[in-house]
Structure 1
Amino acid sequence: MERRKRRSFNAEFKAEAIRLVREGGKSVSQVAKDLDLTDSALRNWMKQAEVDAGKGPAGALTTAEREEFTRLRKEVRQLTMERDFLKKGGGLLREGGLDVKFELMDAQKALFPVKFMCEQLSVSRSGYYAWQRRPESARQASDRVLAEEVARVHQESRRTYGSPRVHAELRTRGQRVSRKRVVRLMRAQGLAARRRRRYVTTTDSRHRRPVAPNVLARDFSPAQPNTSWVTDITYVDTREGWLYLAVVLDLFSRKVVGWSMSDTIDRHLVLGALDMALKSRQPPRGLVHHSDRGSQYAREEYQQALAARGMECSMSRKGNCWDNAVVESFFSTLKQELVYTTDFTTHQQARLALFEYIEVFYNRQRRHSTLGYVSPVNFELAALPQKLAA
């Protein structure tokens, strides 16, 4: 069946059609048939005429109000498109040149009308279509292949990498490419790192237990592993309630060397993470162990565990989260790249996802900016005997 072509009618035509029904002695169906309309369209016109005459139901919009609403909706849609388009292509546009603009249009044509993009970029549609018909240059062919590789790296990073990490990964894979070119290709495809959310503190330091001085003193770059560890607790929201996660990081490589998960935030949670770290690393005596002033870390049982292994306790100053910035940064990354993007139904689902993120992705695959864009495990393998990172 051939699709009916959409037609448009002015106010005068509609008024006369309605008069044919009301004064011409014809039924709605007959008038609709005579004018090649649908019954529903004519009935809607009649209802709208009642509203315009002040006889319609309460809250119904008059024709003038509908037209104003439609105008405002189109204006909002236009402004939204302009914002989104310029947001995606702002960096590329600053580089200038018709080819750059046409490349941006080609990458975004599935999202924005060509006419709209031409207006925004002050280029002609004929020029864009002529550019499309031109044979692909060697540079364009290279860009096309590289853009696919950039998108693949971004996808493999769980859509978390920005241009610095994508560039580092491409260099590792043997691609001789500039950072600027990676930025351009990512922007053209709308690829970007996930944005961080504002940090919210959850430490409960309202207790009367003894606290240790800040021995670490923000020395976040020790020369050797097992010199300084940092630890903290965070929470993950699930439909079964909070799941708490405690971690221990070695500042040398930023590797998570110990972790523990529980639906209860107590001494067993933090002791579990510490126990895993001790068993996996077997650190020498004298290691500096830094935490916040949370009650779990100030408890006698935890302090006894540190003393038994000859570890020196260090705690952040009151109200100063920057004293434990490295582990806070890890939690921010974890939540941005995993927690905030997942609706966990159960604790078990969250446990498995956290385990896989920490042990598979973060420790062994994710490129860390502080480590020269290599993973914590690879950083240790390059700097130390292989057995240490096993």
Structure 2
Amino acid sequence: MCRVLGVSRAHYYRYKAHKPSKRSLEDKDLKQRIFRIFVEFKQRYGVMKIHYELSKELQPLQRRCSPRRVSRLMKEMDIHSIAIKKWKATSSSKQAIQQRPNLLKQDFSTTRLNQKWTTDITYIQTKRDGWCYLSTIMDLHSRRIIGYSFSKKMATKLIIKTLESAVQNRTITEDLIIHSDLGTQYTSDEYNKRLNELHIRHSYSRKGCPYDNAPMESFHASLKKECVYPIPVFENYEAAASVLFEYVHSFYNRKRIHSSLGYQTPLQVEITTIANQMAA
């Protein structure tokens, strides 16, 4: 056989007797763990989040793995987090926009729950029902989505429904602020009347300044990248509603870790915060 293959017998026996190195065996085990985490989180996690989850697994085994090694192994397996840029729908309104009070002024820091909320609407495309609209409210302390509504129409009724869903599950404090952009739904008399009834102060982004509502912009970017864009286009409103509900309530709030929260989930932050308040 060696003669047919054109190799020496010594080379053949060295190859046959070769044993994988400790490093290569470790890499093989790590690749299996990394791939399982990658699949478990539906290809939504990149190097740093996978490294965090992997470290939790390795800690009881008194093992370590650096982010650089995770990155190398992911490249060898040719896996990476979902990252697709698509066209962003924008309002075509040419109506003059009146500036309104910006109470937050890009200060997203908080000391407790129900101190600062932020809200916005994003566009979701479907085949049969055209553009549909997702309205959400986030608590800036935990980054949890506490208000949620999905509709075929972008009307004031949509954001009021979102507000009511948030109010049902939260305690309204005297100094609560909700921040939004200057969209016509948010500047409507109907919406602001309801905020006044709830004693919630309304803060607005400056015209053309998405950084004033950066946490919500970040949430929408994650939702589009991890949930919407991997699907070429939703068949209809019902299909989109089902996938969005699962992403927000089952994944984002409960499973998705956030670097800004010390690699905790929004739900973990809320549980810890409430426990600390009860113990105080």
TM-score greater than 0.5 by the shorter chain: yes
Which residue does 1:249 correspond to in 2?
138
Supply the distance in 1 between the matched residues of 2:269 and 2:152 (Cα, whole angstroms): 33
Residues 209 and 323 from structure 1, CA distance in 2 versus in 1: closer, same or farther, beyond 3 angstroms? closer
2:67 is equivalent to residue 183 of structure 1: no
Which residue does 2:261 correspond to in 1?
371
Supply the distance in 2 between the matched residues of 1:349 and 1:131 (Cα, whole angstroms): 55
Q: 1:266 aligned to 126, 132, 155, which one?
A: 155
Which residue does 1:157 correspond to in 2?
41
Deviations 1:206-257 (A, max 9, x none): 5468653111100112121111111000111111211110000111111101
Deviations 1:31-80 (A, max 9, x none): xxxxxxxxxxxxxxxxxxxxxxxxxxxxxxxxxxxxxxxxxxxxxxxxxx
Q: 1:172 aligned to 56, 63, 68, which one?
A: 56
Letter matched to residue 196 of structure 2: A
Supply the distance in 2 between the matched residues of 1:163 and 1:132 (Cα, whole angstroms): 36
Supply the distance in 1 between the matched residues of 2:82 and 2:186 (Cα, whole angstroms): 32
Q: 1:134 aligned to 12, 15, 18, which one?
A: 18
2:172 is equivalent to residue 289 of structure 1: no
Deviations 1:157-213 (A, max 9, x none): 110111100011112234432222211211111121222526746256754686531
Root-mean-square deviation (CA), in Å? 2.3
Q: 1:232 aligned to 96, 106, 120, which one?
A: 120
Does the residue aligned with 1:341 lie in a helix, a strand or coil? coil
Q: 2:107 aligned to 198, 208, 219, which one?
A: 219
Contact 1:207–1:295 (CA under 8 A) maintained in structure 2: no
Supply the distance in 2 between the matched residues of 1:242 and 1:371 (Cα, whole angstroms): 33
In the comparison of the two structures, how many residue pairs are matched? 260
Q: 1:329 aligned to 203, 218, 241, which one?
A: 218
Larger helix percent: 1
Higher mean alpha-carbon deviation, 216-225 vs 376-385, is at: 376-385
Does the residue aligned with 1:379 lie in a helix, a strand or coil? helix
Structure 1 gaps, min length 5: 1-126
Deviations 1:319-349 (A, max 9, x none): 1111111111111110111111113111101
Residues 155 and 252 from structure 1, CA distance in 2 versus in 1: closer, same or farther, beyond 3 angstroms? same
- The Cα shift of 1:133 comes to 7.0
Supply the distance in 1 between the matched residues of 2:245 and 2:127 (Cα, whole angstroms): 19
Taking only the aligned residue pairs, the percentage that are identical comes to 36
Residues 131 and 337 from structure 1, CA distance in 2 versus in 1: closer, same or farther, beyond 3 angstroms? farther
Supply the distance in 1 between the matched residues of 2:123 and 2:158 (Cα, whole angstroms): 12
- The Cα shift of 1:132 comes to 9.3
Deviations 1:133-175 (A, max 9, x none): 7311222112111110000101111101111000111122344
Supply the distance in 2 between the matched residues of 1:350 and 1:167 (Cα, whole angstroms): 31
Letter matched to residue 79 of structure 2: L
Does the residue aligned with 1:148 lie in a helix, a strand or coil? helix
Letter matched to residue 105 of structure 2: A
TM-score (norm 2): 0.86
TM-score (norm 1): 0.63
Which residue does 2:199 correspond to in 1?
310
The answer to which structure, 1 or 2, has the higher relative contact order (CA under 8 A, 6+ apart) is 2
Q: 2:209 aligned to 320, 331, 345, which one?
A: 320
The structure that has the greater radius of gyration is 1
2:265 is equivalent to residue 362 of structure 1: no
2:270 is equivalent to residue 380 of structure 1: yes
Residues 368 and 282 from structure 1, CA distance in 2 versus in 1: closer, same or farther, beyond 3 angstroms? same
Letter matched to residue 284 of structure 1: T
Structure 2 gaps, min length 5: 1-10
Residues 206 and 303 from structure 1, CA distance in 2 versus in 1: closer, same or farther, beyond 3 angstroms? farther
